[in-house]
Amino acid sequence: MRSIVVRILPLVLCIVCFSFRPKQGENVEFVCMKTHKASNTCHFNFKVDGAKYRFVDIGCKYSKKVSEVVEKAKEGTLALALDWKIECPEPKEKKDGKDF
């Protein structure tokens, strides 16, 4: 009996741990895309729940398909790395009132 539990318990734990999918949904915000010509890579910068993430496209296959990359990031099927390698200027919010 004990040997069965010892064999099955790690298998059950692995199945439970790998069965969860991260849900990103609508909290993914595309910030910018920069092209690094020397290495022929395109860096897509995102913000997910305020944290900075990046996707590096080797060969710039998606440089003209930005909407497809954003859609894949929202679905959670795109591998995003933490932190930005190439910084982008963040968009400044416009104030409604006038400054005095």
Domain hosting 74: range is: 28-88
Residue 1: the pLDDT is 67
* Placement of tokens 């734990």 in the chain: 13
Reading the block at residue 74, the tokens are 């929202």
The answer to the question of residue 32 being in a domain is yes
Is residue 41 in a domain? yes
For the stretch 54-63, contacts whose Cβ atoms lie closer than 8 Å and that sit 24 or more positions apart, written own/partner, are 54/80, 54/81, 54/82, 54/83, 54/84, 54/85, 54/86, 55/79, 55/80, 55/81, 56/81, 56/85, 60/35, 63/33, 63/35
Are the CB atoms for 73 and 46 separated by under 8 Å? yes
Greater confidence (84 vs 19) lies with 84
Look at the chain and report how many structural domains it folds into. 1
Inside any domain, residue 61: yes
**pLDDT single digits (tens) 8-18:** 877 777 676 66
Would you say residue 34 lies in a domain?
yes
pLDDT-based confidence at 70, cuts 50/70/90? confident
